Amino acid sequence: MPRYASNVQIPNLGVAVALNGTEQLEVVQAGESKRATTQQIADLQGVGPTGPMGITGPTGPTGATGPASTVPGPTGPSGTGPTGPTGSGPTGPTGAASTTVGPTGSTGPTGPTGANSTVAGPTGPTGTGPTGPTGSTGAASTVAGPTGPTGQTGAASTVAGPTGPTGSTGAASTVAGPTGPTGSTGAASTVAGPTGPTGPSGTGPTGPTGANSTVAGPTGPTGAAGGGGTSTGGNIFLADYFGGF
């Protein structure tokens, strides 16, 4: 049996003094008896609930003043104290006018819109902005515009213009035009001139009947047979065509 074994009940044991942490105690851990030291239990401080505050002891005597610190302390926060009350002394004299223009104040809110004016304002100056883009071409007019005045006749051109297109054939004239004067004959040209435009076409008068032809003409197509007729009519036609046999 260990030398420390005792059957004396705990209330009958003597009081331990000057514990140094090596004293051993019996504890139950996970359902088994274990041994622990008083130091292990002391290390558990703060784990259990905090006990009630003890009685405050008397104030000790004031200690001696230490030497002055050579390290400046931190600067305290800066703050503006409250504004003191406004004085009620007499008004001082007006100072000289300032030669420095003060700052421009902020723009005030826009006032309400006034009623529309019944008097037309003056016309502003004409602007000199750039010319705008050309608008789209409008629809073709259905009304012919007025004919402008005839311009002055220019000097005669020394260069022959190109031959114009052939005009449409006009109706045959029923009146013979006058014969123009015959011009002087120029020198013979070595270059063929351009073909002139086609003159108007017209039907001339019927010429006289020529002499009978001595050459047989082509045989014409056979005509359709008449009802109950004979071929004698075909011979008569040929005789009429060649002027008789």
* Per-residue model confidence as pLDDT tens digits over 186-240: 888 788 888 888 877 777 788 888 888 888 888 888 887 766 544 444 444 444 4
Give the per-residue pLDDT at 95.
85
Query: Using one digit for the tens of pLDDT, what is the confidence trace for 17-45?
Result: 889 999 999 999 999 999 999 999 988 86
To which residue do tokens 């019996």 refer?
Answer: 26
**Would you state the structure tokens that stand for residue 206, as one six-digit string?**
């019927």
pLDDT greater at residue 76 or residue 244: 76
Bridge partner list, 25: 36
Give the per-residue pLDDT at 48.
60
Number of domains into which the chain is organized: 1
| pLDDT at residue 73 greater than cutoff 90 | no
Q: Does a structural domain hold residue 42?
A: yes
Q: Which residues contact 25 (CB under 8 A, 6 or more apart)?
A: 35, 36, 37, 38, 41
Give the per-residue pLDDT at 5.
57
Query: Using one digit for the tens of pLDDT, what is the confidence trace for 106-163?
Result: 888 898 898 888 888 888 888 788 888 898 888 888 888 899 899 888 888 888 888 8
Alpha-carbon distance of 189 to 186, in angstroms, equals 8
Question: Is there a contact between 65 and 59 (Cβ–Cβ < 8 Å)?
Answer: no
Domain membership of residue 38 as a residue range: 23-47
To which residue do tokens 């004067």 refer?
Answer: 181
Q: Does a structural domain hold residue 30?
A: yes
Q: Does a structural domain hold residue 101?
A: no
SS3 33: strand
Bridge partner list, 33: 28
Give the per-residue pLDDT at 233.
45
Q: Does a structural domain hold residue 233?
A: no
Q: Does a structural domain hold residue 39?
A: yes
Bridge partner list, 36: 25
Say how many C-beta atoms besides its own lie within 10 A of residue 36's C-beta. 14
To which residue do tokens 């826009």 refer?
Answer: 110
Q: Does a structural domain hold residue 245?
A: no
Q: Does a structural domain hold residue 36?
A: yes
Give the per-residue pLDDT at 238.
44
| pLDDT at residue 76 greater than cutoff 90 | no
Q: Does a structural domain hold residue 33?
A: yes
Bridge partner list, 194: none
